[in-house]
Amino acid sequence: MGATLRRLWPYLWPHDRGDLRLRIYLAFALLMVAKLVTVLMPYSFKWATDALTGELNGGAAQAGTASLWAGAVFLTVLYGATRILMSVLTQVRDGMFASVAMNAVRRLALETFRHMHRLSLRFHLERKTGGLTRVLERGRNGIEEIVRLVVLQLVPTIVEFVLVMAVLWWQFDWRYAAIVFVMVALYLAYTYKATEWRIAIRRRMNESDTDANTKAVDSLLNYETVKYFGAEARETARYDKSMERYERASIQTYTSLAVLNAGQAVIFTIGLTLAMVLAVYDVRAGLTTVGGFVMINAMLIQLYIPLNFMGMLYREIKQALIDIDDMFGILERDPEVVDRPGARPLVVSRGTVAFEDVCFSYVPERPILKGVSFSVPAGKTVAIVGPSGAGKSTISRLLFRFYEPSGGRILIDGQDIAEVTQDSLRAAIGMVPQDTVLFNDIIGYNIRYGRWNATDEEVAEAARLAQIDRFILSLPEGYDTPVGERGLKLSGGEKQRVAIARTILKGPPILVLDEATSALDSFTEREIQDALDRVSRGRTTLVIAHRLSTVVGADEIIVLDRGVIAERGTHVELLAQRGIYAAMWDRQRQAEAARETLKRAEEEEEESVRVTLSA
């Protein structure tokens, strides 16, 4: 807990914002004034009571006189005025401190969000997105809770307790202070024990809440898959199972809260009763007045209001610290790939890409690439093909430096990409992936993502070159048409064209096409392939392909098998070798021929039915 607070402190005390530090000073000044007024309130209550009982100024005032009643009215008004002043000062203090709190929330949330993007691809593949965003959300809320509870409730309560103890000792005697001190000590001890018990229950509730949220996000993101397999009932049952655990934990949470509140009320009431009984004896002995008796009651009841929140305060502070600690846990995760000291920007003069004896494995026991060496000359197209699991897509991830090779090196124009900055490296490479995931925004936003400062005319030109401009202009909202979650409102071909358009807009000297057409039908594939040919013209292009028909025009084709280069050459040369490539080509041609035969048969059958019906 202490370590988390120490890490949080720089965000709560912004060294670079003098205006916020001034607000902190003013807020604490208002805090002290408000608490002094809070202590003054019972005094005004005491004076008014003494005035009404004729005991003010040692009983010199006579009950029933005009001055007595006027004095009592004045003191009553003073009591109301102090209550109003206390409330106003408290609200002004809270409002003044709000900018400090929200600045801390914003800075830490922004730093965490930025760090999440710096973390490696491996980290994100191992984490569930719903759970990760939940950590960010809870951490952000946790900072708000810490500021609100510690600064605006805990510290004022401590100040008020110290002032109450001082007033009781000075106005009455040490016995009253001792009773209140013991009562508060027992109250806090009980609160601590009960809250520790409740925190374990609360943690189970949060875990089940996270689990339910993750399942909901995962299921809704895979809405179409759920529909394909008719798995609505199964998904609902999975979600309900998590919600059942959440329900049980929530019931236990509310039950334990009732136990906590009841115990707190008993301890405080006993302490309050003892102090008032003592005041009764002192009134009888002439050591205090009836106003003193009322003052003790008012002062302790006033103290009870913040004390009553101590259990919630402790629990919420501890929970907020746990949530913030989870956020700091992410900040402590080091990125797998970082810029080396002295890394320079990549300078692309021609765009030659070379892999030299590159080795890589996601886990040591299973090597993926075993000494792969090849080059892509500037302005040329090299295709990498091979069976599934051969390591084709790994090559593109290594080129983007999502991972570091365990051996060998990757060069661009003779520069080791491990020695250059990641930003400059990725700025020089364009990617058209197999599965294009679009942002839940408009089409124009998704195209402009390639180069954010592009003009509307440049966006439109990129769309034209990607052969999607006519489709966009046919839509009622044009470039302002929302694409939906992950771009689900667009077809596969339309999404691919958007991906091509934003890559054209980016204008990189090096292009990677990672199975960009393998998920499309033959007709759409041919259209997309034409657009890709336009994009890659004049650029150094690395094509990772499953369908061999898309790479027949490549300057060189590399056949990857079990992490090594098995064959290499042009399409014609590889067919002549009668090896792996030729076998893959034959299988795909046979499958395509079978599909064409089936399609013709279906068309002939439909034509026959039409002729029969017309006869």
Show the domains of the chain with their CATH numbers: 2-332 (1.20.1560.10), 351-428+509-586 (3.40.50.300), 435-507 (3.40.50.300)
Do residues 467 and 526 make contact, with C-beta atoms less than 8 angstroms apart? Answer: no
Separation between Cα atoms, residue 283 and residue 295, nearest integer Å: 12
Do residues 167 and 159 make contact, with C-beta atoms less than 8 angstroms apart? Answer: no
Do residues 43 and 170 make contact, with C-beta atoms less than 8 angstroms apart? Answer: no
Separation between Cα atoms, residue 67 and residue 80, nearest integer Å: 20
Separation between Cα atoms, residue 542 and residue 380, nearest integer Å: 9
- Residue 493 CA, chain-centre distance (Å), reads 31
Question: 130: pLDDT confidence band, cut at 50, 70 and 90?
Answer: low
Phi, psi (rounded to 5 degrees) for 228:
-55, -40
Separation between Cα atoms, residue 129 and residue 225, nearest integer Å: 18
Supply 379's token pair.
Answer: 């302005």
Q: What is the mean pLDDT of residues 265-294?
A: 83
Separation between Cα atoms, residue 231 and residue 325, nearest integer Å: 37
pLDDT tens string 455-489: 888 889 888 888 888 888 888 888 888 887 767 78
Stated pTM of the model: 0.62
585 residue type, one letter: W
Please give the residue that has the higher pLDDT: either 177 or 93. Answer: 177
Q: Helix, strand, or coil here: 26?
A: helix
The pLDDT value recorded for residue 412 is 92
Of 72, 601, 46, nearest in space to 291 by CA: 46
pLDDT over 70, % of the chain: 84
pLDDT over 90, % of the chain: 5
| Through-space distance between the first and last CA atoms of the chain, rounded to whole angstroms | 87
Please give the residue that has the higher pLDDT: either 212 or 525. Answer: 212
Overall size of the chain counted in residues: 615
Question: 595: pLDDT confidence band, cut at 50, 70 and 90?
Answer: low
Supply 291's token pair.
Answer: 């106003």
- Residue 335 CA, chain-centre distance (Å), reads 17
Separation between Cα atoms, residue 460 and residue 446, nearest integer Å: 12
What value does the CA radius of gyration of the chain take, rounded to a whole number of Å? 37
Do residues 119 and 338 make contact, with C-beta atoms less than 8 angstroms apart? Answer: no
Residue 56 in this model has a pLDDT that exceeds 50 = no
Do residues 531 and 493 make contact, with C-beta atoms less than 8 angstroms apart? Answer: no
Q: What is the mean pLDDT of residues 532-561?
A: 83
Compute the mean pLDDT over every residue in the chain, rounded to the nearest whole number.
79
Separation between Cα atoms, residue 98 and residue 144, nearest integer Å: 9
565 residue type, one letter: I
Question: 177: pLDDT confidence band, cut at 50, 70 and 90?
Answer: confident
pLDDT tens string 24-46: 777 777 777 777 777 777 777 77
Separation between Cα atoms, residue 240 and residue 243, nearest integer Å: 5
The pLDDT value recorded for residue 514 is 82
The pLDDT value recorded for residue 129 is 53
- State the sign of the Cα–Cα–Cα–Cα dihedral 211, 212, 214, 218: positive
Question: 123: pLDDT confidence band, cut at 50, 70 and 90?
Answer: low
The pLDDT value recorded for residue 12 is 65
Do residues 465 and 531 make contact, with C-beta atoms less than 8 angstroms apart? Answer: yes
The pLDDT value recorded for residue 602 is 67
- The DSSP secondary-structure symbol of 55 reads -
Separation between Cα atoms, residue 232 and residue 309, nearest integer Å: 44
Place of tokens 């529909």: 227
Residue 78 in this model has a pLDDT that exceeds 50 = yes
The pLDDT value recorded for residue 71 is 64
Separation between Cα atoms, residue 149 and residue 30, nearest integer Å: 17
**Residue 576 CB coordination number (10 Å):** 11
Residue 378 in this model has a pLDDT that exceeds 80 = yes
Separation between Cα atoms, residue 419 and residue 417, nearest integer Å: 5
- How far CA 65 is from CA of 46, 53, 70, in Å, comes to 19, 12, 9
Separation between Cα atoms, residue 384 and residue 395, nearest integer Å: 9
Separation between Cα atoms, residue 271 and residue 164, nearest integer Å: 14
- The DSSP secondary-structure symbol of 484 reads -
- How far CA 19 is from CA of 16, 27, 97, 144, 214, in Å, comes to 9, 12, 11, 20, 40
pLDDT tens string 393-413: 888 889 988 888 988 999 999
Q: What is the mean pLDDT of residues 371-382?
A: 90
Q: What are all long-range contacts of 51-57, with beta carbons under 8 Å and residues at least 24 apart?
A: 51/75, 53/289, 53/290, 53/291, 55/289, 55/290, 55/291, 56/291
Place of tokens 């655990």: 245
Q: What is the mean pLDDT of residues 162-169?
A: 81
Do residues 500 and 432 make contact, with C-beta atoms less than 8 angstroms apart? Answer: yes
Supply 472's token pair.
Answer: 């966009």
- State the sign of the Cα–Cα–Cα–Cα dihedral 372, 377, 378, 381: negative
pLDDT tens string 236-257: 888 888 888 888 888 878 888 7
The pLDDT value recorded for residue 54 is 65
Residue 61 in this model has a pLDDT that exceeds 60 = no
Name the least confident of 171-175, 386-390, 460-464. 386-390
pLDDT tens string 312-341: 677 677 777 777 777 777 777 777 778 888
What does 325-350 look like in DSSP terms, one character per residue? HHHHHHHHSPPSS-PPTT-B----SS
Separation between Cα atoms, residue 284 and residue 491, nearest integer Å: 90
